[in-house]
Amino acid sequence: MKSVDVLPIEDPNTGLNFFLNGDADLMMDKGMIPNTVVDQLQGEPWFHTAPFLGTYFTRFNCEEGPFTDPRVRRAFAMAIDKKRITEKITKLGEVVADGFVPPGAGQGYESPAGLPYDVEKARALMKDAGYEGGAGFPLIRYLYINKPIETHIAVELQNMWKDALGVTVALHKQEQKVWLTSMKQLDYDLCRSSWVGDYNDPNTFLDMFVTGGGNNRTGWSSADYDGYIAAAAAEPDPAKRNAIFQKAESLLVAEEAAVLPIYYYVGVQFYHPEKLGGVQTNLLDEHPFRAMFWK
Protein backbone atom coordinates (compact mmCIF):
# COMPACT_ATOMS: atom_id res chain seq x y z
CA MET A 1 0.00 0.00 0.00
CA LYS A 2 1.83 3.08 -1.25
CA SER A 3 -0.81 5.72 -0.59
CA VAL A 4 -4.24 6.21 0.94
CA ASP A 5 -6.90 8.46 -0.54
CA VAL A 6 -9.38 9.75 2.04
CA LEU A 7 -12.70 10.75 0.48
CA PRO A 8 -14.59 13.58 2.23
CA ILE A 9 -18.25 12.52 2.00
CA GLU A 10 -21.02 13.81 4.23
CA ASP A 11 -24.14 12.08 2.88
CA PRO A 12 -24.61 8.48 4.16
CA ASN A 13 -26.27 7.24 0.97
CA THR A 14 -23.44 8.63 -1.15
CA GLY A 15 -20.84 7.01 1.11
CA LEU A 16 -22.57 3.62 0.96
CA ASN A 17 -22.81 3.81 -2.83
CA PHE A 18 -19.09 4.60 -3.04
CA PHE A 19 -18.33 1.44 -1.11
CA LEU A 20 -20.82 -0.78 -2.95
CA ASN A 21 -19.57 0.44 -6.35
CA GLY A 22 -15.95 -0.25 -5.43
CA ASP A 23 -14.96 3.43 -5.31
CA ALA A 24 -14.04 3.05 -1.62
CA ASP A 25 -12.33 0.06 0.02
CA LEU A 26 -12.99 0.94 3.64
CA MET A 27 -15.65 2.92 5.48
CA MET A 28 -15.39 3.39 9.25
CA ASP A 29 -17.72 6.23 10.21
CA LYS A 30 -20.86 4.90 11.94
CA GLY A 31 -22.57 8.16 11.03
CA MET A 32 -22.26 7.21 7.36
CA ILE A 33 -24.65 4.27 7.62
CA PRO A 34 -28.12 5.07 6.22
CA ASN A 35 -30.53 4.23 9.02
CA THR A 36 -33.12 2.88 6.58
CA VAL A 37 -30.92 0.03 5.37
CA VAL A 38 -29.19 -1.10 8.58
CA ASP A 39 -31.30 -4.27 8.81
CA GLN A 40 -30.29 -5.36 5.31
CA LEU A 41 -26.61 -4.55 5.80
CA GLN A 42 -26.07 -6.55 9.00
CA GLY A 43 -25.98 -9.90 7.24
CA GLU A 44 -23.31 -8.88 4.75
CA PRO A 45 -19.80 -10.40 5.14
CA TRP A 46 -18.22 -6.95 4.74
CA PHE A 47 -20.27 -5.40 7.58
CA HIS A 48 -18.35 -5.47 10.88
CA THR A 49 -19.29 -4.08 14.31
CA ALA A 50 -17.77 -4.29 17.80
CA PRO A 51 -18.10 -2.36 21.10
CA PHE A 52 -15.71 0.48 21.82
CA LEU A 53 -15.17 3.05 24.55
CA GLY A 54 -17.76 5.64 23.60
CA THR A 55 -20.98 6.88 25.19
CA TYR A 56 -23.90 8.69 23.55
CA PHE A 57 -25.63 10.91 26.09
CA THR A 58 -27.59 14.09 26.76
CA ARG A 59 -26.22 17.04 28.71
CA PHE A 60 -28.44 19.13 30.96
CA ASN A 61 -27.84 22.85 31.36
CA CYS A 62 -27.44 22.83 35.13
CA GLU A 63 -26.54 26.51 35.33
CA GLU A 64 -29.87 28.12 34.49
CA GLY A 65 -33.47 27.23 33.68
CA PRO A 66 -35.53 24.29 34.99
CA PHE A 67 -32.60 21.86 34.98
CA THR A 68 -30.94 23.59 37.90
CA ASP A 69 -33.25 21.31 39.92
CA PRO A 70 -31.85 17.74 40.14
CA ARG A 71 -35.38 16.39 40.60
CA VAL A 72 -36.25 17.62 37.11
CA ARG A 73 -33.05 16.17 35.68
CA ARG A 74 -33.77 12.79 37.25
CA ALA A 75 -37.35 12.90 35.97
CA PHE A 76 -36.21 13.53 32.40
CA ALA A 77 -33.67 10.72 32.70
CA MET A 78 -36.22 8.22 34.04
CA ALA A 79 -38.76 9.08 31.34
CA ILE A 80 -36.54 7.68 28.56
CA ASP A 81 -36.93 4.14 27.24
CA LYS A 82 -33.40 3.73 25.91
CA LYS A 83 -34.16 0.39 24.27
CA ARG A 84 -36.58 2.13 21.94
CA ILE A 85 -33.69 4.21 20.63
CA THR A 86 -31.22 1.35 20.15
CA GLU A 87 -33.79 -1.09 18.75
CA LYS A 88 -35.86 1.31 16.65
CA ILE A 89 -33.31 3.87 15.44
CA THR A 90 -29.61 3.02 15.79
CA LYS A 91 -30.03 -0.78 15.39
CA LEU A 92 -26.33 -1.64 15.43
CA GLY A 93 -26.36 -3.76 18.57
CA GLU A 94 -25.60 -0.90 20.95
CA VAL A 95 -25.98 -1.64 24.66
CA VAL A 96 -28.19 0.80 26.54
CA ALA A 97 -26.14 2.86 28.97
CA ASP A 98 -26.91 2.43 32.65
CA GLY A 99 -23.83 4.39 33.67
CA PHE A 100 -21.59 6.84 31.91
CA VAL A 101 -18.42 4.74 31.68
CA PRO A 102 -18.63 2.03 28.97
CA PRO A 103 -17.92 -1.62 29.81
CA GLY A 104 -14.27 -2.57 29.56
CA ALA A 105 -12.84 0.75 30.69
CA GLY A 106 -9.94 -0.08 32.97
CA GLN A 107 -9.07 -3.23 34.86
CA GLY A 108 -12.10 -4.62 36.62
CA TYR A 109 -14.13 -1.41 36.64
CA GLU A 110 -17.92 -1.75 36.60
CA SER A 111 -20.29 1.19 36.56
CA PRO A 112 -22.72 1.46 39.49
CA ALA A 113 -26.46 1.31 38.88
CA GLY A 114 -27.88 4.35 37.16
CA LEU A 115 -31.46 5.59 36.99
CA PRO A 116 -34.05 3.07 35.78
CA TYR A 117 -36.75 3.65 33.19
CA ASP A 118 -39.68 4.46 35.48
CA VAL A 119 -42.35 6.80 34.14
CA GLU A 120 -44.41 6.84 37.35
CA LYS A 121 -41.40 7.81 39.45
CA ALA A 122 -40.48 10.43 36.84
CA ARG A 123 -43.96 11.95 37.07
CA ALA A 124 -43.76 11.97 40.86
CA LEU A 125 -40.44 13.82 40.72
CA MET A 126 -41.94 16.44 38.38
CA LYS A 127 -44.91 16.87 40.74
CA ASP A 128 -42.53 17.29 43.67
CA ALA A 129 -40.64 19.95 41.68
CA GLY A 130 -43.89 21.85 41.03
CA TYR A 131 -44.63 20.70 37.48
CA GLU A 132 -47.38 18.11 37.85
CA GLY A 133 -48.39 16.82 34.43
CA GLY A 134 -46.04 19.36 32.87
CA ALA A 135 -48.12 22.31 34.10
CA GLY A 136 -46.09 25.49 34.30
CA PHE A 137 -42.99 23.92 32.78
CA PRO A 138 -41.32 26.32 30.34
CA LEU A 139 -40.69 25.59 26.68
CA ILE A 140 -37.19 24.15 26.43
CA ARG A 141 -34.80 23.41 23.54
CA TYR A 142 -33.02 20.20 22.66
CA LEU A 143 -29.89 21.02 20.69
CA TYR A 144 -28.57 18.44 18.24
CA ILE A 145 -26.39 18.02 15.15
CA ASN A 146 -27.90 18.35 11.69
CA LYS A 147 -27.68 14.70 10.63
CA PRO A 148 -30.54 12.33 9.72
CA ILE A 149 -30.00 9.82 12.53
CA GLU A 150 -29.66 12.65 15.06
CA THR A 151 -33.02 13.99 13.92
CA HIS A 152 -34.61 10.55 14.42
CA ILE A 153 -33.21 10.32 17.96
CA ALA A 154 -34.25 13.90 18.77
CA VAL A 155 -37.84 13.26 17.65
CA GLU A 156 -38.00 10.05 19.69
CA LEU A 157 -36.75 11.82 22.82
CA GLN A 158 -39.16 14.70 22.24
CA ASN A 159 -42.10 12.28 22.02
CA MET A 160 -41.09 10.32 25.12
CA TRP A 161 -40.76 13.44 27.23
CA LYS A 162 -44.11 14.69 25.97
CA ASP A 163 -45.90 11.39 26.60
CA ALA A 164 -44.34 10.71 30.00
CA LEU A 165 -44.07 14.18 31.51
CA GLY A 166 -46.44 16.37 29.50
CA VAL A 167 -43.67 18.82 28.60
CA THR A 168 -42.95 20.47 25.26
CA VAL A 169 -39.39 20.21 23.96
CA ALA A 170 -38.52 22.24 20.87
CA LEU A 171 -35.94 20.66 18.57
CA HIS A 172 -33.08 22.88 17.48
CA LYS A 173 -30.55 21.51 15.00
CA GLN A 174 -27.26 23.12 14.08
CA GLU A 175 -24.29 22.31 11.90
CA GLN A 176 -21.59 20.57 13.90
CA LYS A 177 -19.22 23.53 14.35
CA VAL A 178 -22.07 25.80 15.48
CA TRP A 179 -23.47 23.06 17.75
CA LEU A 180 -20.08 22.68 19.42
CA THR A 181 -19.85 26.42 20.07
CA SER A 182 -23.37 26.51 21.49
CA MET A 183 -22.59 23.62 23.82
CA LYS A 184 -19.39 25.26 25.06
CA GLN A 185 -21.30 28.48 25.77
CA LEU A 186 -24.15 26.60 27.51
CA ASP A 187 -26.55 28.00 24.92
CA TYR A 188 -29.00 25.11 25.30
CA ASP A 189 -31.39 23.43 27.73
CA LEU A 190 -30.74 19.86 26.62
CA CYS A 191 -27.87 18.96 24.33
CA ARG A 192 -27.03 15.88 22.27
CA SER A 193 -23.55 14.79 23.33
CA SER A 194 -21.03 12.00 23.00
CA TRP A 195 -17.64 11.09 24.37
CA VAL A 196 -15.03 8.60 23.20
CA GLY A 197 -12.30 7.62 25.63
CA ASP A 198 -8.79 8.86 24.93
CA TYR A 199 -7.37 5.89 26.82
CA ASN A 200 -8.67 2.75 28.48
CA ASP A 201 -9.53 3.98 31.96
CA PRO A 202 -12.62 5.34 33.80
CA ASN A 203 -10.82 8.61 34.41
CA THR A 204 -11.03 9.65 30.76
CA PHE A 205 -14.82 9.71 31.15
CA LEU A 206 -15.25 10.92 34.71
CA ASP A 207 -12.70 13.71 34.98
CA MET A 208 -14.68 15.61 32.33
CA PHE A 209 -17.18 16.86 34.89
CA VAL A 210 -14.97 18.40 37.56
CA THR A 211 -15.81 21.99 38.38
CA GLY A 212 -14.63 24.29 35.61
CA GLY A 213 -13.36 21.42 33.47
CA GLY A 214 -12.98 22.30 29.80
CA ASN A 215 -15.14 19.34 28.76
CA ASN A 216 -17.77 19.76 31.48
CA ARG A 217 -20.08 21.98 29.42
CA THR A 218 -23.05 21.50 31.76
CA GLY A 219 -22.48 24.20 34.38
CA TRP A 220 -22.73 21.46 37.01
CA SER A 221 -20.41 21.69 39.98
CA SER A 222 -19.97 19.43 43.00
CA ALA A 223 -17.28 19.69 45.66
CA ASP A 224 -17.90 16.02 46.56
CA TYR A 225 -17.40 14.96 42.96
CA ASP A 226 -14.22 17.01 42.63
CA GLY A 227 -12.96 15.35 45.79
CA TYR A 228 -13.64 11.86 44.45
CA ILE A 229 -11.77 12.52 41.22
CA ALA A 230 -8.81 13.97 43.11
CA ALA A 231 -8.80 11.04 45.53
CA ALA A 232 -8.87 8.52 42.69
CA ALA A 233 -5.89 10.22 41.07
CA ALA A 234 -3.91 9.78 44.30
CA GLU A 235 -4.97 6.17 45.00
CA PRO A 236 -2.41 3.53 43.91
CA ASP A 237 -4.55 0.49 44.74
CA PRO A 238 -6.68 -0.44 41.67
CA ALA A 239 -9.62 -1.86 43.64
CA LYS A 240 -9.83 1.15 45.97
CA ARG A 241 -9.44 3.48 42.99
CA ASN A 242 -12.34 1.78 41.21
CA ALA A 243 -14.49 2.11 44.32
CA ILE A 244 -13.84 5.86 44.42
CA PHE A 245 -14.70 6.20 40.74
CA GLN A 246 -17.96 4.32 41.37
CA LYS A 247 -18.94 6.87 44.02
CA ALA A 248 -18.20 9.67 41.58
CA GLU A 249 -20.15 8.06 38.75
CA SER A 250 -23.14 7.35 40.97
CA LEU A 251 -23.20 11.00 42.03
CA LEU A 252 -22.93 12.19 38.43
CA VAL A 253 -25.54 9.92 36.85
CA ALA A 254 -27.96 8.79 39.56
CA GLU A 255 -27.99 11.28 42.43
CA GLU A 256 -27.40 14.54 40.58
CA ALA A 257 -28.16 13.38 37.01
CA ALA A 258 -26.04 16.08 35.42
CA VAL A 259 -25.96 13.91 32.30
CA LEU A 260 -28.29 11.31 30.81
CA PRO A 261 -26.41 8.32 29.33
CA ILE A 262 -28.38 6.68 26.51
CA TYR A 263 -26.22 4.00 24.88
CA TYR A 264 -22.67 2.79 24.44
CA TYR A 265 -21.25 3.04 20.96
CA VAL A 266 -20.23 0.25 18.66
CA GLY A 267 -17.59 0.74 16.01
CA VAL A 268 -18.51 -0.02 12.41
CA GLN A 269 -16.24 -0.94 9.53
CA PHE A 270 -17.16 -1.77 5.95
CA TYR A 271 -14.45 -3.80 4.20
CA HIS A 272 -13.95 -7.10 2.43
CA PRO A 273 -11.86 -9.26 4.82
CA GLU A 274 -10.72 -11.57 2.03
CA LYS A 275 -9.11 -8.58 0.31
CA LEU A 276 -8.07 -6.13 3.05
CA GLY A 277 -6.13 -7.15 6.16
CA GLY A 278 -4.98 -5.34 9.29
CA VAL A 279 -8.38 -3.95 10.30
CA GLN A 280 -8.91 -5.16 13.86
CA THR A 281 -11.80 -4.28 16.15
CA ASN A 282 -10.63 -2.85 19.47
CA LEU A 283 -12.00 -0.91 22.44
CA LEU A 284 -10.38 2.36 21.38
CA ASP A 285 -11.68 1.93 17.81
CA GLU A 286 -8.26 2.83 16.42
CA HIS A 287 -7.41 1.66 12.92
CA PRO A 288 -4.02 2.95 11.74
CA PHE A 289 -3.53 2.78 7.99
CA ARG A 290 0.06 1.64 8.50
CA ALA A 291 -1.25 -1.68 9.85
CA MET A 292 -3.45 -2.38 6.81
CA PHE A 293 -2.40 -4.43 3.80
CA TRP A 294 -3.79 -6.02 0.70
CA LYS A 295 -4.00 -9.79 0.81
Q: What angle do CA 222, 258, 191 make, to 5 degrees?
A: 135
Mean pLDDT of the 41-60 span: 89
100: helix, strand or coil:
coil
Band (pLDDT 50/70/90 cuts) for residue 1 is low
Smallest CA-to-CA distance from 158 within 180, 145, 143, 175 is with: 143
Q: pLDDT tens digits, residue range 92-106?
A: 889 999 999 999 888
- State pLDDT tens for residues 10-36: 788 888 888 889 889 888 876 667 777
Please tell me the predicted confidence (pLDDT) of residue 97: 97
What tens digit of pLDDT does each residue of 51-85 get? 889 999 999 999 999 999 999 999 999 999 999 99
Q: Is the pLDDT of residue 167 over 60?
A: yes
Question: Is 106 in contact with 153 (CB distance < 8 Å)?
Answer: no
> Would you list the DSSP string of 171-222?
EEEE-HHHHHHHHHTT--SEEEEEEE-SSSSTHHHHGGGSTT-TTT-S----
Lowest mean pLDDT across 2-11, 118-127, 247-256: 2-11
Highest mean pLDDT among 101-115, 150-164, 267-281: 150-164
User: Could you tell me the pLDDT band of residue 218, with boundaries at 50, 70 and 90?
Assistant: very high
pLDDT at position 6? 86
Residue 287 pLDDT level (bands cut at 50, 70, 90): confident
- Considering the entire predicted model, what is its pTM? 0.89
pLDDT confidence of residue 31: 67
pLDDT grade, residue 181 (50/70/90)? Answer: very high
Q: Is 283 left (phi over 0), alpha (psi -120 to 50) or beta?
A: alpha
- In the chain, % of residues over pLDDT 90: 67
Higher pLDDT, 280 or 237: 237
